[in-house]
Structure 1
Amino acid sequence: MRVAVTGASGFVGGAVVADAVARGHEVLALSRRPVELPGAEWRRWDLTEGPLTDAPEVDVVVHAAARVGERGSWAQFERANVAGTAAVLDAFPGARLVHVSSGSVYDPYIPTVDGREDEAPVARYLGRYAASKAAAERLVRERAPGHAGGAVILRPHAVYGPGDTTLLPRIESAVRGRRLVLPGDGRVRQSLTHVGNLVAAVRAAGHVDLDARDGGVLVANVADAEPVALRDVLLELLERRGRGDVEILGVPVRVATALAVLAEGAARLDPRGREPRLSRYAISHLALERTLDLTTLRERLGVEPAPTELTGAEDW
Protein backbone atom coordinates (compact mmCIF):
# COMPACT_ATOMS: atom_id res chain seq x y z
CA MET A 1 0.00 0.00 0.00
CA ARG A 2 1.19 3.52 -0.78
CA VAL A 3 0.84 5.92 2.14
CA ALA A 4 1.54 9.65 2.40
CA VAL A 5 1.92 11.28 5.82
CA THR A 6 1.88 15.02 6.50
CA GLY A 7 3.59 16.37 9.59
CA ALA A 8 6.14 13.57 9.30
CA SER A 9 8.74 15.48 11.32
CA GLY A 10 6.36 15.73 14.28
CA PHE A 11 5.52 13.43 17.17
CA VAL A 12 2.41 11.78 15.73
CA GLY A 13 3.40 11.93 12.07
CA GLY A 14 6.79 10.40 12.77
CA ALA A 15 5.20 7.54 14.70
CA VAL A 16 2.76 6.88 11.85
CA VAL A 17 5.60 6.83 9.30
CA ALA A 18 7.65 4.40 11.39
CA ASP A 19 4.67 2.06 11.77
CA ALA A 20 3.81 2.16 8.05
CA VAL A 21 7.41 1.44 7.06
CA ALA A 22 7.60 -1.44 9.55
CA ARG A 23 4.52 -2.97 7.91
CA GLY A 24 6.12 -2.88 4.49
CA HIS A 25 4.19 0.02 2.98
CA GLU A 26 5.63 2.46 0.46
CA VAL A 27 5.73 5.70 2.46
CA LEU A 28 5.98 9.33 1.37
CA ALA A 29 6.90 11.49 4.38
CA LEU A 30 5.93 15.15 4.05
CA SER A 31 7.00 18.00 6.32
CA ARG A 32 8.45 21.51 6.35
CA ARG A 33 11.58 20.46 8.22
CA PRO A 34 13.99 17.85 6.86
CA VAL A 35 13.84 14.61 8.80
CA GLU A 36 15.53 11.25 8.46
CA LEU A 37 12.95 8.48 8.48
CA PRO A 38 14.55 5.18 7.47
CA GLY A 39 12.60 3.38 4.79
CA ALA A 40 10.52 6.41 3.75
CA GLU A 41 10.88 8.92 0.94
CA TRP A 42 10.93 12.50 2.26
CA ARG A 43 9.70 15.60 0.45
CA ARG A 44 9.43 19.13 1.73
CA TRP A 45 5.89 20.50 1.85
CA ASP A 46 4.67 23.56 3.68
CA LEU A 47 0.89 23.20 3.58
CA THR A 48 0.44 26.97 3.86
CA GLU A 49 1.99 27.30 0.40
CA GLY A 50 -0.82 25.36 -1.30
CA PRO A 51 -1.18 21.90 -2.83
CA LEU A 52 1.87 19.71 -3.34
CA THR A 53 3.19 19.91 -6.89
CA ASP A 54 3.54 16.62 -8.74
CA ALA A 55 1.92 14.69 -5.90
CA PRO A 56 2.09 10.95 -6.55
CA GLU A 57 -0.95 8.72 -6.43
CA VAL A 58 -1.33 7.07 -3.03
CA ASP A 59 -3.90 4.80 -1.43
CA VAL A 60 -4.04 6.60 1.92
CA VAL A 61 -2.99 10.05 3.07
CA VAL A 62 -2.64 10.58 6.83
CA HIS A 63 -2.98 14.26 7.64
CA ALA A 64 -1.11 14.74 10.92
CA ALA A 65 0.32 18.21 10.29
CA ALA A 66 -1.13 21.10 12.28
CA ARG A 67 -0.31 24.40 13.89
CA VAL A 68 -0.65 23.82 17.64
CA GLY A 69 -0.43 25.86 20.81
CA GLU A 70 -1.97 29.23 21.55
CA ARG A 71 0.46 31.59 19.89
CA GLY A 72 -0.50 33.19 16.59
CA SER A 73 -3.35 34.99 14.88
CA TRP A 74 -6.54 33.41 13.60
CA ALA A 75 -5.25 33.97 10.06
CA GLN A 76 -2.17 31.88 10.85
CA PHE A 77 -4.20 29.04 12.37
CA GLU A 78 -6.73 29.15 9.53
CA ARG A 79 -4.00 29.07 6.90
CA ALA A 80 -2.22 26.11 8.49
CA ASN A 81 -5.10 24.00 9.79
CA VAL A 82 -8.02 24.79 7.50
CA ALA A 83 -6.48 25.87 4.20
CA GLY A 84 -3.76 23.28 4.85
CA THR A 85 -6.39 20.55 5.07
CA ALA A 86 -7.91 21.76 1.81
CA ALA A 87 -4.46 21.54 0.23
CA VAL A 88 -4.17 17.91 1.32
CA LEU A 89 -7.55 17.09 -0.20
CA ASP A 90 -6.53 18.84 -3.42
CA ALA A 91 -3.16 17.10 -3.61
CA PHE A 92 -4.49 13.56 -3.11
CA PRO A 93 -8.02 13.43 -4.60
CA GLY A 94 -7.96 9.67 -5.12
CA ALA A 95 -6.80 8.65 -1.65
CA ARG A 96 -8.53 7.71 1.60
CA LEU A 97 -8.00 10.64 3.95
CA VAL A 98 -7.19 9.86 7.58
CA HIS A 99 -7.54 13.23 9.25
CA VAL A 100 -5.96 13.52 12.70
CA SER A 101 -8.18 16.01 14.50
CA SER A 102 -8.37 16.64 18.25
CA GLY A 103 -10.54 16.11 21.30
CA SER A 104 -10.38 19.89 21.70
CA VAL A 105 -13.31 20.18 19.25
CA TYR A 106 -15.73 19.30 22.08
CA ASP A 107 -17.45 22.12 23.99
CA PRO A 108 -14.82 23.81 26.18
CA TYR A 109 -17.41 25.44 28.43
CA ILE A 110 -18.88 22.26 29.89
CA PRO A 111 -17.41 18.90 30.95
CA THR A 112 -17.07 16.26 28.26
CA VAL A 113 -18.47 13.12 29.90
CA ASP A 114 -18.15 10.05 27.68
CA GLY A 115 -18.36 12.44 24.76
CA ARG A 116 -19.85 10.98 21.58
CA GLU A 117 -18.67 11.92 18.13
CA ASP A 118 -21.95 13.67 17.22
CA GLU A 119 -21.51 16.16 20.09
CA ALA A 120 -18.89 18.17 18.15
CA PRO A 121 -17.96 20.47 16.57
CA VAL A 122 -19.73 23.23 18.52
CA ALA A 123 -20.39 26.91 17.87
CA ARG A 124 -17.80 28.52 20.15
CA TYR A 125 -14.29 27.84 21.37
CA LEU A 126 -11.79 29.33 23.77
CA GLY A 127 -8.71 29.12 21.57
CA ARG A 128 -7.72 29.51 17.94
CA TYR A 129 -6.26 26.02 17.78
CA ALA A 130 -9.51 24.33 18.79
CA ALA A 131 -11.58 26.60 16.55
CA SER A 132 -9.34 25.89 13.57
CA LYS A 133 -9.43 22.12 14.14
CA ALA A 134 -13.22 22.29 14.27
CA ALA A 135 -13.26 24.30 11.03
CA ALA A 136 -10.97 21.72 9.42
CA GLU A 137 -13.38 18.95 10.44
CA ARG A 138 -16.27 20.83 8.87
CA LEU A 139 -14.26 21.19 5.67
CA VAL A 140 -13.52 17.46 5.57
CA ARG A 141 -17.21 16.66 6.13
CA GLU A 142 -18.17 18.97 3.26
CA ARG A 143 -15.64 17.66 0.77
CA ALA A 144 -15.16 14.01 1.67
CA PRO A 145 -18.39 12.73 0.05
CA GLY A 146 -16.87 13.74 -3.30
CA HIS A 147 -13.43 12.43 -2.38
CA ALA A 148 -12.68 9.07 -4.00
CA GLY A 149 -11.52 7.26 -0.88
CA GLY A 150 -13.75 8.95 1.68
CA ALA A 151 -12.40 10.14 5.01
CA VAL A 152 -11.96 9.04 8.60
CA ILE A 153 -11.63 11.77 11.23
CA LEU A 154 -9.80 10.72 14.40
CA ARG A 155 -10.16 12.65 17.66
CA PRO A 156 -7.40 11.84 20.15
CA HIS A 157 -7.12 13.71 23.44
CA ALA A 158 -3.83 14.57 25.16
CA VAL A 159 -1.49 12.42 23.07
CA TYR A 160 1.57 11.22 24.98
CA GLY A 161 4.30 8.61 24.76
CA PRO A 162 7.82 8.13 23.36
CA GLY A 163 8.85 11.13 21.29
CA ASP A 164 6.32 13.52 22.86
CA THR A 165 7.31 17.08 21.95
CA THR A 166 4.29 18.95 23.30
CA LEU A 167 2.43 17.59 26.33
CA LEU A 168 5.34 16.41 28.49
CA PRO A 169 7.46 19.55 27.98
CA ARG A 170 4.49 21.70 28.97
CA ILE A 171 3.92 19.72 32.15
CA GLU A 172 7.56 19.89 33.17
CA SER A 173 7.85 23.59 32.36
CA ALA A 174 4.84 24.29 34.59
CA VAL A 175 6.63 22.95 37.68
CA ARG A 176 7.93 25.70 39.95
CA GLY A 177 10.34 24.45 42.58
CA ARG A 178 8.51 21.54 44.15
CA ARG A 179 5.02 22.58 43.13
CA LEU A 180 2.77 22.04 40.15
CA VAL A 181 -0.15 24.45 40.30
CA LEU A 182 -3.41 23.18 38.78
CA PRO A 183 -6.79 24.86 38.42
CA GLY A 184 -9.15 22.88 40.61
CA ASP A 185 -7.53 19.99 42.43
CA GLY A 186 -6.60 17.71 39.54
CA ARG A 187 -9.01 14.98 40.60
CA VAL A 188 -11.01 15.15 37.37
CA ARG A 189 -11.29 12.15 35.04
CA GLN A 190 -9.49 12.40 31.73
CA SER A 191 -9.20 10.30 28.59
CA LEU A 192 -5.56 10.28 27.52
CA THR A 193 -4.23 8.86 24.26
CA HIS A 194 -0.99 6.90 24.09
CA VAL A 195 0.62 7.43 20.72
CA GLY A 196 0.56 3.66 20.18
CA ASN A 197 -3.23 3.63 20.44
CA LEU A 198 -3.45 6.53 18.00
CA VAL A 199 -1.17 4.77 15.50
CA ALA A 200 -3.36 1.65 15.75
CA ALA A 201 -6.42 3.78 14.98
CA VAL A 202 -4.68 5.40 12.00
CA ARG A 203 -3.76 1.97 10.69
CA ALA A 204 -7.35 0.73 10.94
CA ALA A 205 -8.78 3.94 9.48
CA GLY A 206 -6.79 3.43 6.31
CA HIS A 207 -8.80 0.40 5.26
CA VAL A 208 -12.09 0.42 7.19
CA ASP A 209 -15.14 0.06 4.94
CA LEU A 210 -17.41 3.10 4.86
CA ASP A 211 -21.12 2.57 4.24
CA ALA A 212 -24.23 4.61 3.55
CA ARG A 213 -24.70 5.65 7.19
CA ASP A 214 -21.29 7.36 7.12
CA GLY A 215 -22.00 9.64 4.15
CA GLY A 216 -18.38 9.32 3.11
CA VAL A 217 -17.02 10.34 6.52
CA LEU A 218 -16.50 8.31 9.69
CA VAL A 219 -15.57 10.09 12.93
CA ALA A 220 -13.96 8.20 15.82
CA ASN A 221 -12.70 9.21 19.24
CA VAL A 222 -9.31 7.72 20.11
CA ALA A 223 -8.09 7.24 23.67
CA ASP A 224 -6.64 4.74 26.11
CA ALA A 225 -8.89 1.93 27.34
CA GLU A 226 -10.22 3.72 30.42
CA PRO A 227 -10.18 7.28 31.79
CA VAL A 228 -7.71 8.13 34.54
CA ALA A 229 -7.54 10.64 37.38
CA LEU A 230 -5.45 13.53 36.06
CA ARG A 231 -3.74 14.19 39.40
CA ASP A 232 -2.58 10.58 39.78
CA VAL A 233 -1.18 10.42 36.25
CA LEU A 234 0.71 13.70 36.59
CA LEU A 235 2.30 12.66 39.88
CA GLU A 236 3.32 9.27 38.49
CA LEU A 237 4.72 10.85 35.35
CA LEU A 238 6.78 13.36 37.31
CA GLU A 239 8.05 10.63 39.62
CA ARG A 240 9.19 8.57 36.65
CA ARG A 241 10.94 11.68 35.32
CA GLY A 242 12.87 12.04 38.56
CA ARG A 243 10.60 14.62 40.17
CA GLY A 244 8.96 12.58 42.88
CA ASP A 245 9.36 15.58 45.19
CA VAL A 246 6.74 17.61 43.32
CA GLU A 247 3.39 18.28 44.99
CA ILE A 248 0.21 19.46 43.28
CA LEU A 249 -1.25 22.71 44.55
CA GLY A 250 -4.87 23.30 43.60
CA VAL A 251 -6.13 26.79 42.82
CA PRO A 252 -9.86 27.68 42.67
CA VAL A 253 -11.02 27.72 39.07
CA ARG A 254 -12.46 31.23 39.37
CA VAL A 255 -9.12 32.55 40.58
CA ALA A 256 -7.24 30.67 37.86
CA THR A 257 -9.60 32.02 35.21
CA ALA A 258 -9.07 35.61 36.34
CA LEU A 259 -5.31 35.09 36.19
CA ALA A 260 -5.63 33.52 32.75
CA VAL A 261 -7.44 36.57 31.38
CA LEU A 262 -4.56 38.74 32.57
CA ALA A 263 -1.97 36.34 31.17
CA GLU A 264 -3.68 36.23 27.78
CA GLY A 265 -3.76 40.03 27.66
CA ALA A 266 -0.06 40.24 28.49
CA ALA A 267 0.76 37.65 25.82
CA ARG A 268 -1.06 39.67 23.16
CA LEU A 269 1.14 42.65 23.99
CA ASP A 270 4.38 40.65 24.06
CA PRO A 271 6.45 41.58 20.97
CA ARG A 272 8.17 38.18 21.15
CA GLY A 273 4.84 36.45 20.60
CA ARG A 274 5.20 34.05 23.51
CA GLU A 275 2.30 31.89 24.64
CA PRO A 276 0.47 32.90 27.83
CA ARG A 277 1.69 31.17 30.99
CA LEU A 278 -1.95 30.30 31.71
CA SER A 279 -4.99 30.38 29.44
CA ARG A 280 -8.71 29.75 29.65
CA TYR A 281 -8.27 27.04 27.03
CA ALA A 282 -5.79 25.20 29.26
CA ILE A 283 -8.07 25.58 32.28
CA SER A 284 -10.96 24.06 30.34
CA HIS A 285 -8.89 20.93 29.78
CA LEU A 286 -7.37 20.71 33.26
CA ALA A 287 -10.29 21.58 35.51
CA LEU A 288 -13.18 19.83 33.74
CA GLU A 289 -13.79 16.18 32.98
CA ARG A 290 -12.70 15.26 29.46
CA THR A 291 -13.68 11.66 28.77
CA LEU A 292 -14.55 10.11 25.43
CA ASP A 293 -16.88 7.34 24.32
CA LEU A 294 -14.86 4.72 22.41
CA THR A 295 -17.66 2.67 20.88
CA THR A 296 -16.81 3.69 17.31
CA LEU A 297 -13.12 3.00 17.84
CA ARG A 298 -13.88 -0.49 19.08
CA GLU A 299 -16.84 -1.49 16.91
CA ARG A 300 -16.15 0.23 13.59
CA LEU A 301 -12.36 0.42 13.53
CA GLY A 302 -11.86 -2.83 15.43
CA VAL A 303 -9.28 -1.30 17.76
CA GLU A 304 -9.15 -2.40 21.39
CA PRO A 305 -6.98 0.30 22.97
CA ALA A 306 -4.39 -0.48 25.60
CA PRO A 307 -4.62 1.09 29.07
CA THR A 308 -2.76 4.26 29.98
CA GLU A 309 0.92 3.32 30.21
CA LEU A 310 3.75 5.45 31.59
CA THR A 311 6.44 2.78 31.65
CA GLY A 312 9.62 4.16 30.14
CA ALA A 313 8.58 7.79 30.65
CA GLU A 314 12.02 8.56 32.06
CA ASP A 315 13.38 8.23 28.51
CA TRP A 316 10.69 10.13 26.60
Structure 2
Amino acid sequence: MNPRNLPSRHEPRRLRRHPALRRMLREHHLTAADFLLPIFLVEGEGIRAEISSMPGVFRHSIDSALRLCAEAVAREIPGVLLFGVIEAHGKDDTGSASWAAEGLVQRAIRAIRARYPQLLIIADACFCEYTAHGHCGVLDAGGDRDDYATLENLQRQAISYAEAGVDVVAPSGMVDGMVMAIREALDATQHPQISILSYAVKYASAFYGPFRDAADSAPQFGDRKGYQMDPANRREAFREMALDIQEGGDMVMVKPAMPYLDILRDIRERGDLPVLAYQVSGEYSMLQAAARAGWLDLRSSVLESLLGIKRAGADAIITYYALDAVDWLG
Protein backbone atom coordinates (compact mmCIF):
# COMPACT_ATOMS: atom_id res chain seq x y z
CA MET A 1 0.00 0.00 0.00
CA ASN A 2 1.24 3.47 -0.87
CA PRO A 3 0.39 5.87 1.98
CA ARG A 4 0.81 8.86 -0.33
CA ASN A 5 -1.66 7.35 -2.81
CA LEU A 6 0.94 7.61 -5.59
CA PRO A 7 1.59 4.81 -8.08
CA SER A 8 4.99 3.23 -7.46
CA ARG A 9 6.26 4.16 -10.92
CA HIS A 10 6.48 7.80 -9.77
CA GLU A 11 9.38 7.42 -7.35
CA PRO A 12 12.48 9.20 -8.70
CA ARG A 13 14.45 8.05 -5.67
CA ARG A 14 14.80 4.60 -7.22
CA LEU A 15 17.21 6.13 -9.73
CA ARG A 16 19.33 7.63 -6.92
CA ARG A 17 19.81 4.58 -4.73
CA HIS A 18 22.87 3.12 -6.47
CA PRO A 19 26.08 5.12 -7.06
CA ALA A 20 26.47 3.60 -10.51
CA LEU A 21 22.99 4.76 -11.49
CA ARG A 22 23.70 8.25 -10.22
CA ARG A 23 26.90 8.42 -12.25
CA MET A 24 25.25 7.01 -15.35
CA LEU A 25 22.30 9.41 -15.27
CA ARG A 26 24.18 12.52 -14.24
CA GLU A 27 23.20 15.35 -16.58
CA HIS A 28 26.29 17.55 -16.23
CA HIS A 29 29.93 16.70 -15.65
CA LEU A 30 33.02 18.68 -14.69
CA THR A 31 36.34 17.87 -16.33
CA ALA A 32 39.74 19.54 -16.55
CA ALA A 33 38.74 20.89 -19.96
CA ASP A 34 36.12 23.11 -18.29
CA PHE A 35 38.66 25.23 -16.40
CA LEU A 36 40.97 28.16 -17.08
CA LEU A 37 43.53 29.23 -14.48
CA PRO A 38 44.13 32.92 -13.71
CA ILE A 39 47.73 33.93 -12.94
CA PHE A 40 48.94 37.15 -11.31
CA LEU A 41 52.36 38.17 -12.61
CA VAL A 42 54.97 40.36 -10.89
CA GLU A 43 58.49 41.45 -11.76
CA GLY A 44 61.52 39.68 -10.29
CA GLU A 45 62.74 36.13 -9.94
CA GLY A 46 61.80 33.34 -7.59
CA ILE A 47 58.72 35.19 -6.33
CA ARG A 48 55.69 33.27 -5.12
CA ALA A 49 53.93 35.62 -2.72
CA GLU A 50 50.62 34.62 -1.17
CA ILE A 51 47.78 37.13 -1.44
CA SER A 52 46.44 37.81 2.05
CA SER A 53 42.80 38.11 0.98
CA MET A 54 43.02 35.04 -1.27
CA PRO A 55 44.71 32.30 0.78
CA GLY A 56 46.22 29.70 -1.50
CA VAL A 57 46.56 32.12 -4.44
CA PHE A 58 49.92 33.74 -5.18
CA ARG A 59 51.58 36.46 -7.20
CA HIS A 60 54.24 34.89 -9.40
CA SER A 61 57.37 36.07 -11.11
CA ILE A 62 57.65 34.68 -14.62
CA ASP A 63 59.86 31.75 -13.60
CA SER A 64 57.39 30.79 -10.87
CA ALA A 65 54.48 31.23 -13.28
CA LEU A 66 56.13 28.73 -15.61
CA ARG A 67 56.12 26.17 -12.81
CA LEU A 68 52.43 26.88 -12.26
CA CYS A 69 51.82 26.40 -15.97
CA ALA A 70 53.56 23.03 -15.74
CA GLU A 71 51.03 22.04 -13.07
CA ALA A 72 48.19 23.14 -15.33
CA VAL A 73 49.57 21.18 -18.28
CA ALA A 74 50.05 18.08 -16.12
CA ARG A 75 46.37 18.25 -15.16
CA GLU A 76 45.28 18.87 -18.79
CA ILE A 77 43.85 22.29 -17.97
CA PRO A 78 43.59 23.93 -21.40
CA GLY A 79 44.66 27.49 -20.66
CA VAL A 80 45.69 30.36 -18.41
CA LEU A 81 44.51 33.95 -18.05
CA LEU A 82 47.32 36.44 -17.36
CA PHE A 83 47.19 39.61 -15.27
CA GLY A 84 50.16 41.93 -14.82
CA VAL A 85 50.77 43.55 -11.43
CA ILE A 86 53.38 46.31 -11.55
CA GLU A 87 55.01 48.57 -8.97
CA ALA A 88 53.58 52.02 -8.34
CA HIS A 89 56.58 53.76 -9.91
CA GLY A 90 55.78 52.07 -13.24
CA LYS A 91 52.23 53.40 -13.38
CA ASP A 92 51.09 56.55 -15.17
CA ASP A 93 47.86 58.25 -16.20
CA THR A 94 47.38 56.14 -19.34
CA GLY A 95 48.71 52.73 -18.30
CA SER A 96 51.38 52.80 -21.00
CA ALA A 97 53.36 49.98 -19.38
CA SER A 98 50.59 47.63 -20.49
CA TRP A 99 51.55 47.82 -24.16
CA ALA A 100 55.35 47.91 -23.85
CA ALA A 101 57.01 45.33 -26.08
CA GLU A 102 59.10 44.18 -23.11
CA GLY A 103 56.27 44.54 -20.62
CA LEU A 104 55.63 42.00 -17.90
CA VAL A 105 52.72 40.23 -19.58
CA GLN A 106 54.40 40.31 -22.98
CA ARG A 107 57.51 38.59 -21.62
CA ALA A 108 55.37 36.05 -19.80
CA ILE A 109 53.46 35.26 -23.00
CA ARG A 110 56.70 34.59 -24.86
CA ALA A 111 58.08 32.43 -22.05
CA ILE A 112 54.94 30.33 -21.73
CA ARG A 113 54.59 29.99 -25.50
CA ALA A 114 58.16 28.72 -25.80
CA ARG A 115 57.85 26.25 -22.91
CA TYR A 116 54.24 25.08 -23.21
CA PRO A 117 52.98 25.50 -26.79
CA GLN A 118 49.96 23.30 -26.01
CA LEU A 119 48.66 25.78 -23.42
CA LEU A 120 46.08 28.37 -24.45
CA ILE A 121 47.33 31.82 -23.43
CA ILE A 122 44.72 34.48 -22.70
CA ALA A 123 45.76 38.00 -21.72
CA ASP A 124 43.46 40.35 -19.86
CA ALA A 125 43.26 43.68 -21.69
CA CYS A 126 42.57 46.53 -19.30
CA PHE A 127 44.43 49.35 -17.56
CA CYS A 128 43.40 49.42 -13.91
CA GLU A 129 46.57 47.54 -12.87
CA TYR A 130 48.72 50.03 -14.80
CA THR A 131 47.19 53.45 -14.16
CA ALA A 132 48.16 55.65 -11.23
CA HIS A 133 44.49 56.48 -10.64
CA GLY A 134 43.31 52.84 -10.80
CA HIS A 135 40.58 53.38 -13.37
CA CYS A 136 40.19 51.30 -16.52
CA GLY A 137 41.53 53.76 -19.06
CA VAL A 138 42.33 57.39 -19.78
CA LEU A 139 40.47 60.02 -17.76
CA ASP A 140 39.27 63.38 -19.05
CA ALA A 141 39.65 66.69 -17.22
CA GLY A 142 36.52 65.99 -15.17
CA GLY A 143 37.72 62.58 -13.96
CA ASP A 144 35.41 60.59 -16.24
CA ARG A 145 36.78 57.92 -18.54
CA ASP A 146 37.60 59.06 -22.06
CA ASP A 147 36.46 56.04 -24.05
CA TYR A 148 37.92 57.17 -27.38
CA ALA A 149 41.41 57.65 -25.97
CA THR A 150 41.06 54.38 -24.05
CA LEU A 151 40.11 52.50 -27.22
CA GLU A 152 43.27 53.67 -28.94
CA ASN A 153 45.34 52.36 -26.05
CA LEU A 154 43.42 49.08 -26.06
CA GLN A 155 44.46 48.67 -29.68
CA ARG A 156 48.09 49.22 -28.72
CA GLN A 157 47.77 46.72 -25.88
CA ALA A 158 46.12 44.06 -28.05
CA ILE A 159 48.74 44.41 -30.79
CA SER A 160 51.56 44.05 -28.25
CA TYR A 161 49.98 40.86 -26.90
CA ALA A 162 49.54 39.47 -30.41
CA GLU A 163 53.16 40.21 -31.31
CA ALA A 164 54.25 38.40 -28.14
CA GLY A 165 52.30 35.29 -29.19
CA VAL A 166 49.02 35.41 -27.28
CA ASP A 167 46.12 33.21 -28.40
CA VAL A 168 43.21 35.22 -26.99
CA VAL A 169 42.83 38.88 -26.05
CA ALA A 170 40.28 39.42 -23.28
CA PRO A 171 39.13 43.06 -22.91
CA SER A 172 37.65 43.57 -19.45
CA GLY A 173 37.16 47.33 -19.12
CA MET A 174 33.57 47.52 -20.40
CA VAL A 175 34.54 50.19 -22.93
CA ASP A 176 31.83 50.72 -25.56
CA GLY A 177 33.23 49.65 -28.93
CA MET A 178 36.18 47.76 -27.44
CA VAL A 179 35.66 44.56 -29.42
CA MET A 180 35.42 46.37 -32.75
CA ALA A 181 38.50 48.47 -32.00
CA ILE A 182 40.57 45.43 -31.04
CA ARG A 183 39.34 43.36 -33.99
CA GLU A 184 40.24 46.15 -36.43
CA ALA A 185 43.67 46.59 -34.86
CA LEU A 186 44.47 42.87 -34.90
CA ASP A 187 43.32 42.43 -38.48
CA ALA A 188 45.18 45.52 -39.68
CA THR A 189 48.44 44.22 -38.19
CA GLN A 190 48.13 40.75 -39.72
CA HIS A 191 46.84 38.97 -36.62
CA PRO A 192 43.42 37.77 -37.78
CA GLN A 193 43.93 34.43 -36.02
CA ILE A 194 43.83 35.98 -32.55
CA SER A 195 40.51 35.41 -30.78
CA ILE A 196 38.67 37.96 -28.66
CA LEU A 197 37.06 36.89 -25.40
CA SER A 198 34.95 39.84 -24.34
CA TYR A 199 33.99 40.53 -20.75
CA ALA A 200 30.69 41.43 -22.34
CA VAL A 201 28.54 41.14 -19.23
CA LYS A 202 30.59 42.48 -16.33
CA TYR A 203 28.70 43.75 -13.32
CA ALA A 204 29.82 46.42 -10.83
CA SER A 205 30.15 43.80 -8.15
CA ALA A 206 31.17 43.81 -4.50
CA PHE A 207 32.75 40.40 -5.12
CA TYR A 208 35.83 41.92 -6.81
CA GLY A 209 37.36 43.12 -3.55
CA PRO A 210 40.12 40.51 -3.13
CA PHE A 211 41.13 40.86 -6.80
CA ARG A 212 41.80 44.56 -6.29
CA ASP A 213 44.10 43.59 -3.44
CA ALA A 214 45.79 40.95 -5.59
CA ALA A 215 46.25 43.20 -8.62
CA ASP A 216 46.76 46.47 -6.72
CA SER A 217 44.03 47.92 -8.92
CA ALA A 218 41.57 49.66 -6.61
CA PRO A 219 40.48 53.06 -7.97
CA GLN A 220 42.08 55.96 -6.13
CA PHE A 221 38.77 57.85 -6.19
CA GLY A 222 35.19 57.15 -7.16
CA ASP A 223 34.12 53.75 -8.45
CA ARG A 224 33.47 51.90 -11.72
CA LYS A 225 29.69 51.97 -11.67
CA GLY A 226 29.66 54.38 -14.60
CA TYR A 227 30.98 51.74 -16.98
CA GLN A 228 30.33 48.36 -15.34
CA MET A 229 26.78 47.02 -15.31
CA ASP A 230 24.21 47.67 -12.61
CA PRO A 231 23.61 44.43 -10.65
CA ALA A 232 19.85 45.12 -10.84
CA ASN A 233 19.77 44.92 -14.64
CA ARG A 234 18.99 41.84 -16.67
CA ARG A 235 17.83 43.01 -20.11
CA GLU A 236 20.92 45.18 -20.45
CA ALA A 237 23.04 42.02 -20.50
CA PHE A 238 21.48 41.00 -23.81
CA ARG A 239 22.28 44.37 -25.37
CA GLU A 240 25.89 44.13 -24.22
CA MET A 241 26.23 40.62 -25.60
CA ALA A 242 24.58 41.51 -28.91
CA LEU A 243 26.85 44.51 -29.44
CA ASP A 244 30.01 42.49 -28.80
CA ILE A 245 28.84 39.75 -31.15
CA GLN A 246 28.12 42.33 -33.86
CA GLU A 247 31.55 43.86 -33.36
CA GLY A 248 33.33 40.54 -33.97
CA GLY A 249 33.71 38.92 -30.56
CA ASP A 250 34.52 35.22 -30.62
CA MET A 251 33.51 34.41 -27.03
CA VAL A 252 31.63 36.28 -24.32
CA MET A 253 31.91 36.22 -20.55
CA VAL A 254 29.59 36.70 -17.60
CA LYS A 255 31.32 38.07 -14.49
CA PRO A 256 30.87 37.31 -11.60
CA ALA A 257 29.42 33.82 -11.87
CA MET A 258 27.59 32.82 -8.68
CA PRO A 259 25.34 35.90 -8.15
CA TYR A 260 24.49 35.98 -11.87
CA LEU A 261 23.63 32.40 -12.75
CA ASP A 262 20.29 33.60 -14.12
CA ILE A 263 22.12 35.94 -16.48
CA LEU A 264 24.48 33.16 -17.52
CA ARG A 265 21.50 30.94 -18.33
CA ASP A 266 19.85 33.73 -20.33
CA ILE A 267 23.01 34.49 -22.31
CA ARG A 268 23.54 30.81 -23.07
CA GLU A 269 19.99 30.42 -24.37
CA ARG A 270 19.92 33.61 -26.44
CA GLY A 271 23.35 33.48 -28.06
CA ASP A 272 25.28 30.94 -30.08
CA LEU A 273 28.83 32.01 -29.20
CA PRO A 274 30.79 30.18 -26.50
CA VAL A 275 29.95 31.60 -23.07
CA LEU A 276 32.49 31.68 -20.24
CA ALA A 277 31.91 32.51 -16.60
CA TYR A 278 34.39 33.93 -14.12
CA GLN A 279 34.25 32.59 -10.57
CA VAL A 280 35.74 35.78 -9.16
CA SER A 281 38.01 36.48 -6.22
CA GLY A 282 35.20 37.16 -3.77
CA GLU A 283 33.59 33.84 -4.58
CA TYR A 284 36.94 32.12 -4.06
CA SER A 285 37.69 33.86 -0.76
CA MET A 286 34.19 33.41 0.61
CA LEU A 287 34.44 29.63 0.25
CA GLN A 288 37.97 29.66 1.68
CA ALA A 289 36.88 31.64 4.73
CA ALA A 290 33.87 29.43 5.43
CA ALA A 291 35.95 26.28 5.07
CA ARG A 292 38.72 27.59 7.31
CA ALA A 293 36.13 28.43 9.94
CA GLY A 294 34.83 24.86 9.76
CA TRP A 295 31.45 25.92 8.39
CA LEU A 296 31.77 24.25 4.96
CA ASP A 297 33.70 21.37 3.47
CA LEU A 298 35.95 23.07 0.92
CA ARG A 299 36.12 20.27 -1.62
CA SER A 300 32.41 19.53 -1.82
CA SER A 301 31.31 23.19 -1.71
CA VAL A 302 33.77 24.25 -4.43
CA LEU A 303 32.81 21.40 -6.73
CA GLU A 304 29.12 22.08 -6.15
CA SER A 305 29.56 25.76 -6.97
CA LEU A 306 31.51 24.93 -10.14
CA LEU A 307 28.89 22.39 -11.17
CA GLY A 308 26.20 25.02 -10.69
CA ILE A 309 28.07 27.36 -13.03
CA LYS A 310 28.43 24.59 -15.61
CA ARG A 311 24.77 23.62 -15.26
CA ALA A 312 23.71 27.23 -15.80
CA GLY A 313 25.36 27.14 -19.22
CA ALA A 314 29.06 27.98 -19.01
CA ASP A 315 31.20 26.41 -21.72
CA ALA A 316 34.27 27.11 -19.60
CA ILE A 317 34.93 28.50 -16.13
CA ILE A 318 37.73 30.81 -15.07
CA THR A 319 38.48 29.82 -11.49
CA TYR A 320 41.29 30.10 -8.96
CA TYR A 321 40.29 26.59 -7.90
CA ALA A 322 41.22 25.07 -11.26
CA LEU A 323 44.18 23.00 -10.04
CA ASP A 324 42.42 21.80 -6.89
CA ALA A 325 39.22 21.05 -8.74
CA VAL A 326 40.97 18.72 -11.19
CA ASP A 327 42.69 16.92 -8.31
CA TRP A 328 39.39 16.54 -6.44
CA LEU A 329 37.65 15.23 -9.55
CA GLY A 330 40.33 12.54 -9.80
The TM-score with structure 2 as length reference comes to: 0.35
The TM-score with structure 1 as length reference comes to: 0.36
